[in-house]
Structure 1
């Protein structure tokens, strides 16, 4: 390894050498981000194709790969055919873990609850849950006009489901869990003043709005123990009027850090209102319409397209200006995500004191990116053109993948 890295810069050396994450050692600081696979079998569990998908990143040398959208309970699924974590699917979860581990890669599971962001017509609670009883535009085509504000009993039920899911993943051989506190999902709905209109101790100031998300973290930590890594993906800001501000994001990270989280993933945007902030680059609207089957949803997307799918031209490290403000605010690991496609960008992130980098599109483009970085160093070129045509494939039958030709090295 030392010989391979002798010509590399310090930041790139740091990225591709091993690192500790709580009680787990990763072979490098490269983490495959959760990108919803849409690769389920008829029993609503991960398919062998999904296992092969993650094995491609493991054989390519990532430090850790992440199984996306592990709903903690049936009502946590955005759509009824999505997967939720339960004991019955332990064999496939274990098969995934064993397969990934053969290559020296660790495995994380992203636990996410959709809350009010739901199209699920088979809800045990009859209505989607959220912090506040509100009008529910996304549910109208499915006969669900209102969300249901959560009382403390429902909060305990949901927090328990997060903990139960984390325990099942750990027992199946997963090495970490990632709790989704961002992107407009349930815990983010509590954090955002736009969706949290409560007048009790769970609403108002950011400390109150974080009370339930912190309760979820507490339940999960109690279940998995002190030496098991827990990461949290947050929305630093969502660029939506009345939504999560950068000050809210900084407070979210500080409160999670104080509560003992092992790492914070610094994302931005909200899937339900401002998804392009997550991606930057070419709009995903055209291809989303291609795969959307509900005519009312299609109509709404067409009518709101320009306001919902804002124009954010791609540039390298597009979230760095916001993310760099978090380093002085927390002591836990910070995981950067957003526009790190070329080695110069990765170098800069490492030299600025971030601990890990999560990659989505660059690893879809080149699953063996870690090995190629070791081999080529600063001469490496990823080739992702930020067309974002991979993202809408999360809802396509074939599942998410890069639409470009297979990666080949071209000299920089």
Structure 2
């Protein structure tokens, strides 16, 4: 039977009011590195708008794992605010997820005051420093920090934990051959490169058991030469499925470090990105930005073709992401065997979209995918749609 995407559904041990997920998109609302009233309002609004699950983005498990200094690090300092955030979402009838991650080479070591880590040593275009090779001790520590962070979030009332395994973050940097040149047990074969992903997922599951749902954000293609390919992404998904540590996979693509527009598609806001950067990076963005921010035309559900290959290869629940704006697309995803859909920009433009689509046959979101929202993660007041702001 094809499920009704707007009816209640189960994700692991968690009951959701529908199958629509607000994907993790950095909110830019933690200027002091803790939960702010603005961050609570952001997710409360998403919950009030009808999503079954809203995801708090970029929750770092370690100080060096932040993308930059103004980002949450899960710990005693942030726990009270996280509990307030969970309570606010629950009060609106929604469930709440936290994206557990370590930015790895995507971290700005200069901003964080500690050098970034990656699978292998490499220069950082963000900090103009060298990124350090993660040692055995680092990986053991970070794995424990994932588990400790998971416990804090569960105690704070979160319903779902999303392990970030994509976009060239730390785990993803191990998966990509171009970023992982190691000769030890963490490099070489996909089995070795996937060791950290599987180890972290197991540690999180061992810590929380069936108290909450545990999912992962996994790449269906990194979109750059030497990145994780679709065949390897499928093989990784099969490994994770065989481990039995996850309740679902959310399929994504692209690399924050190597090819960010592969994920977003649509307009390339080069001028806005350059203007949002500090001077040295701003000059570089104007010089090489067109090569870095490649243009991909937008189309509805642009990851669907690749995602269907995953659907054929694994039995575990899958979340379809990537340019989902229309009720017909959501219904089609259910027909094709996907269990949930994840939306980002469409909800940033219209937080009440899910409520509207639930009662509107043939309804669609109004986001034009100009991507001018992307540079606003650095703006005062946080991530927002400048098209709406200009009206």
Equivalents in 1 of 2:334, 2:45: separation in Å?
Answer: 25
Match of 2:62 in 1: 73
After superposition, where does 1:11-160 map in structure 2 within 5 Å?
A: 14-42=4-32, 44-121=33-110, 126-140=114-128, 144=129, 146-160=130-144
After superposition, where does 1:273-352 map in structure 2 within 5 Å?
A: 273-293=258-278, 295-352=279-336
Equivalents in 1 of 2:124, 2:372: separation in Å?
Answer: 28
- TM value normalised by structure 1: 0.91
Q: Any conservation in 2 of the 1:40–1:47 contact (CA below 8 Å)?
A: yes
Partner deviation per Cα, 1:24-82 (whole Å, 9 max, x = no partner): 0100000101110110143x202101101101111111101001100001111121232
Equivalents in 2 of 1:272, 1:64: separation in Å?
Answer: 27
Q: Any conservation in 2 of the 1:333–1:354 contact (CA below 8 Å)?
A: yes
Structure 1 residues 138 and 49, CA gap change in structure 2 (3 angstroms)? closer
1:382 aligns with 2:365: yes
Equivalents in 2 of 1:85, 1:234: separation in Å?
Answer: 21
Structure 1 residues 394 and 402, CA gap change in structure 2 (3 angstroms)? same
Shift of 1:377: 2.2
Partner deviation per Cα, 1:271-330 (whole Å, 9 max, x = no partner): 11111111110003221112112x221222222212211110111111111011001211
- Count matched residues: 388
- TM value normalised by structure 2: 0.95
Partner deviation per Cα, 1:336-374 (whole Å, 9 max, x = no partner): 000111122112111100000010011112211221112
SS for the counterpart of 1:286 is helix
Equivalents in 2 of 1:285, 1:112: separation in Å?
Answer: 27
Q: Any conservation in 1 of the 2:275–2:282 contact (CA below 8 Å)?
A: no
Equivalents in 2 of 1:405, 1:270: separation in Å?
Answer: 28
Unaligned runs of 5+ in 1: 1-9, 407-412
Shift of 1:234: 1.2
Structure 1 residues 375 and 137, CA gap change in structure 2 (3 angstroms)? closer
Q: Any conservation in 2 of the 1:190–1:210 contact (CA below 8 Å)?
A: yes
Shift of 1:128: 1.5
Partner deviation per Cα, 1:189-241 (whole Å, 9 max, x = no partner): 00000100011111111111000111111111111113421111112112211
SS for the counterpart of 1:303 is helix
Q: Any conservation in 1 of the 2:64–2:115 contact (CA below 8 Å)?
A: no
Selected match of 1:209 from 184, 193, 197: 193
Shift of 1:136: 3.1
Q: Any conservation in 2 of the 1:72–1:84 contact (CA below 8 Å)?
A: yes
Shift of 1:105: 0.6
Shift of 1:123: 5.8
Match of 1:186 in 2: 170
Equivalents in 2 of 1:373, 1:135: separation in Å?
Answer: 46
Selected match of 1:397 from 372, 380, 383: 380
Moved over 6 A (4+): none
Match of 2:152 in 1: 168
Selected match of 2:235 from 247, 251, 262: 251
The two structures, once aligned, show a CA RMSD in angstroms of 1.6
Match of 1:409 in 2: none
Q: Any conservation in 2 of the 1:31–1:359 contact (CA below 8 Å)?
A: yes
Shift of 1:247: 1.1
Unaligned runs of 5+ in 2: none
Equivalents in 2 of 1:297, 1:68: separation in Å?
Answer: 24
